[in-house]
Amino acid sequence: MIFLALGSYGQDFKFALVTDLHIGSPNGVAEEDLQRTVEDINKQTDLDFVLLTGDITEMGTEEEIATAKAIIVQLNIPYYIIPGNHDTGWSESGGVGFIQAFGDDKFVFEHKGYKFIGTSSGPYVRMSDGHIPRDAVVWMDSVLRATPTDQRIINVNHYPLDNALDNWYEATDRLKNYNTQFSVCGHGHNNKVYDFEGIPGVMSRSNLRAKDEVGGYQWISIESDTAYFQERNPGVGTKDSWHKIALGKREFDPNQVYIRPSFDINEKYPNVKKRWSYHSDANVISTPAYTDGKVIFGNAVGKIETLDKNTGEVIWSFETDGGIFSSPVISNDLVIMGSGDGNVYALEHASGNLVWKKSFEKAVLGSPELYGDAVLIGGSDGTFRSIDVNTGAENWTFEGISGPVVSKPLIYDNMIVFGAWDRHLYALNIETGVLLWKWDNGSPNRMYSPAMCIPVAHEGVIYIVAPDRFLTAIDSKSGKTLWRTNEATVRESIGISDDGSLIYGKTMNDDIVAFKTGESEAKLAWRMDCGFGYEHVPSMLIEKEGRVFFGTKSGVVYSIDPKSQEINWAHKVDNSMVNTVNVISGNSLIVATMDGKVELLEF
């Protein structure tokens, strides 16, 4: 419930909202639609500025961002821009390219008595629910602390402020302490009215024409104590106001109870406890490494942090210039990982001192693997490289990849096997980097690429899962498809039993499945209902001492018994994506979540 008193300060003005441009989309008309909208805005004499609220591009490539910017900068009035899930989820730079092009992925400005606060919403590089980045929440706190409680606020996000964002409540709880007038968003490609826990909400249509002759955008007029929303179709006309919001001093009812994520599952399984919990100041979207009593990881603003395994206290940190989505590896006294700034870093794990760094032409989002004295890692510059672990010198480079490498490769039978966001799975000779074969599923759609899973192998067969929801078996020598099955709706999470007899997969709704390994057919061994609900994040299944561990999009880590198909335990860390866990012993593991939580669980 909202209590509204009219008469708060604020002057009349009018602005445009343009959203869901999808530059680079397959239909080829997005650029024309955006150009038409920009020209139409430039003809108006009463618009003060423009908000661009995400999904600026289709896949977040540097080329798409450059194309979008070349059109957007033609605007003759100020614009404020944030990314959407299409700009960040498949980004070849981990969002760095968007920030470099437009200056930031969030904004705050004041206009005629109103403060506009816009934040990005992810997900970044990994598939998951929308998520306001941890660093943006920290930043929002600093912005709000500097805001008078009676100043009128207009919130801007790509997603609606509901459970499409896994941490929607972090925004609404904060905004309800202030005089928030309304929140605007895109994402749904429709004009729609919302109630975000008492905060009025409005979704705008996409700028794309869809089945019409021209696209459209929004005019928002602040007149006295009312905001009016009108759809504008460039070169055609402006429709009558389809929605209005009363403005003024808002007092949100503090006694109103709203749904929040439940942690009751932690009471159900008291046999697992967190020894400590550390909250990084940015998202963590990788698997922490462990060595010599140290837990080491990077976060999405480029900081590498090392924690004491026993206490969770910070031992040292190191700054890079781009977000880190690369899971580190340990080689002797070095910790090695890639960064969105285009470098692979090797640091002394005891001190954090830089030993060497190797530059790529673009971001390095992929995770390294070790083979003797070589570090094997892919980048977003179309290359996969072997680097000397001691010096950073290049052993060999494979070129010709048409999309970013964002996951960890498989070493198997003198091969290095990895996927990329170019539809293909690659197999290279591990000594020379020569291409042995490359595979695709026959679909022209890049979004079905086997890019996110970490392949597994047994007895001459390589197994992968992908967003096409198939489990695929591939002959390791020839790269030929042996079999494919969509009997279970697996997506991007896979694992293999210690004895190699079973392939594990996480389905998109509740179930863990196990298929028997083999060349001839896909044979389902068992299916287990774990009750985790809808699920789509890439969190690989890890078997250790007869137990299988995995995470979900809602922050829950599971341990299951593959023989009895029973849950050993489950533990909820927070409400965001769980990265692949690092099981460091028979009774402990390290888990990191998208929201930047790193915890040591003991069981």
pLDDT digits (tens, 9 = 90+) for 488-515: 999 999 999 999 999 999 999 999 999 9
**DSSP sequence for 560-593:** EETTTTEEEEEEE--SSPBPPPEEEETTEEEEEB
pLDDT digits (tens, 9 = 90+) for 67-103: 999 999 999 999 999 999 999 998 999 999 999 999 9
Task: For CA atoms 545, 596, 305, 311, give the dihedral sign.
Answer: negative
The values of phi and psi at residue 328, to 5°, are: -70, 155
SS3 label, residue 602? strand
In this model, does residue 7 exceed pLDDT 80?
no
Residue 463 pairs in a beta bridge with 456, 473
The whole model's pTM is what? Answer: 0.94
Task: For CA atoms 481, 485, 491, 497, give the dihedral sign.
Answer: negative
pLDDT of residue 6: 40
Closest CA to 80 of 57, 60, 103, 55: 103
Task: For CA atoms 446, 448, 454, 456, give the dihedral sign.
Answer: negative
Closest CA to 234 of 22, 20, 25, 35: 35
The values of phi and psi at residue 200, to 5°, are: -60, 140
In this model, does residue 173 exceed pLDDT 80?
yes
pLDDT band, very low/low/confident/very high, at 304 (cuts 50, 70, 90): very high
Q: Note the Cα 247 to chain centre separation in Å.
A: 34
Instruction: Please report how the helices 168-175 and 134-145 are oriented relative to each other, as an axis angle in degrees rounded to 10.
Output: 0
